[in-house]
Amino acid sequence: MSDTLATLNSPAAYSSIADKLEKGLIVQFPRCPFPMPDEADQEFLRTEMPRHLSRKNISYHPETGAVHGLKGDRAMTERVTSILKNHSAQVQEFFKANAPTLTQNWQVATCSFRPMEEAGRNLSAHASNELIHVDAGAYGATHGDRVLRFFVNINPNQDRVWISKGAFPKLLATHGVAAGLTPGGMGSRIEESPVGRFYSAGLRGLSHFGLPLSQVLDTSPYDRAMRRFHNYMKDTPEFQNSPEGLERFSFAPFSAWSVFTDMVSHACIAGRFALVSTFVVPMANCRRKELVPFNILKGSAGH
Ligand SMILES: [Fe+2]
């Protein structure tokens, strides 16, 4: 029995997903709970994308409607756009039907396809999926809002393999001091100053005019603390190599899973051909306030 994994076998169980995610569980579905891209589109992604990849992944960006990471002709770009956009819509519909509390005012972020074998990709440490981490900073500043992801393994022959060392509350309690976050570290300065808030609001205003760079430039004490924890995990071999709390999960062909990746530590150590949908969920949507990383960081500073 895993402390970190919950399996939802039937539609009757789907409505428990928000609570399980908020608890810091990886929720898995033995079979993707909604229609996947059809066989021809899957085969197209699996055979064509590895040869036409120009970045780490191929990603559909709903805010602009553009696909990044692909070097292909117009027809190919349009087909990929349509597949990823439709898949994102399926994931959104699933969450709206089964976890409506999480979806209010959420931000639908990228839907990406990961065409390369994850084992031995030799990416730099901070970009590597093979090192255990919690997600931080990949979508600019969240100011405490949550990073929710939904994964589907569309490799017909190969599992996608993850390892984890559990969720944020325990990780911070165990490693917060070494990471320089507690006590009295960055966690104690998690509340934003009025100037910081003004700066962020100004950047958000700019981003309405289509300047996504402003989101990247944005930051907050919370985001800096989470980034620090992310980097501590990836830069600390003792953390990566110790067997303490280590769990391993194999996600079978055509299975799916979802998790708050800002909360549950994870690394993908093997596997190829996954669809990954990302959402930023307002912190206020979470009902288990005591488990929200922002609140834990704040509490750990003695507030
Ligand atoms: Fe991650």
**pTM of this structure:** 0.90
Sequence-ordered alpha helix ranges (H) in the chain: 17-22, 39-48, 74-98, 100-103, 168-175, 194-207, 213-217, 221-235, 237-241, 293-300
Cβ neighbour number for residue 87 with a 10 Å cutoff: 27
pLDDT of residue 170: 93
Identity of the amino acid at 160: R
Tokens 């998790």, located at residue: 259
What is the 128 CA–ligand 1 centroid distance (Å)?
9
What is the 49 CA–ligand 1 centroid distance (Å)?
21
What is the 129 CA–ligand 1 centroid distance (Å)?
6
What is the 136 CA–ligand 1 centroid distance (Å)?
8
pLDDT of residue 61: 96
Residue 222: helix, strand or coil by DSSP? helix
Tokens 């929720």, located at residue: 27
What is the 156 CA–ligand 1 centroid distance (Å)?
23
pLDDT of residue 137: 78
Mean pLDDT, the chain cut into blocks of 10 residues (303 residues total): 90 97 98 98 97 93 95 96 98 98 97 94 77 88 95 98 95 92 63 61 50 56 92 94 94 98 96 97 96 90 49
Give dist(CA 244, CA 147) in Å, integer.
Answer: 25
pLDDT of residue 219: 78
Q: Looking at domain 5-300, which of 3.30.2310, 2.40.50, 3.30.70, 2.60.120 is its CATH number?
A: 2.60.120
pLDDT of residue 187: 53
What is the 262 CA–ligand 1 centroid distance (Å)?
8
What is the 217 CA–ligand 1 centroid distance (Å)?
20
pLDDT of residue 183: 66
What is the 131 CA–ligand 1 centroid distance (Å)?
9
Q: Is 99 exposed, middle or buried, given 0-12, 13-18 or 19+ CB atoms closer than 10 A?
A: buried
What is the 109 CA–ligand 1 centroid distance (Å)?
14
Residue 287: helix, strand or coil by DSSP? coil
What is the 149 CA–ligand 1 centroid distance (Å)?
9
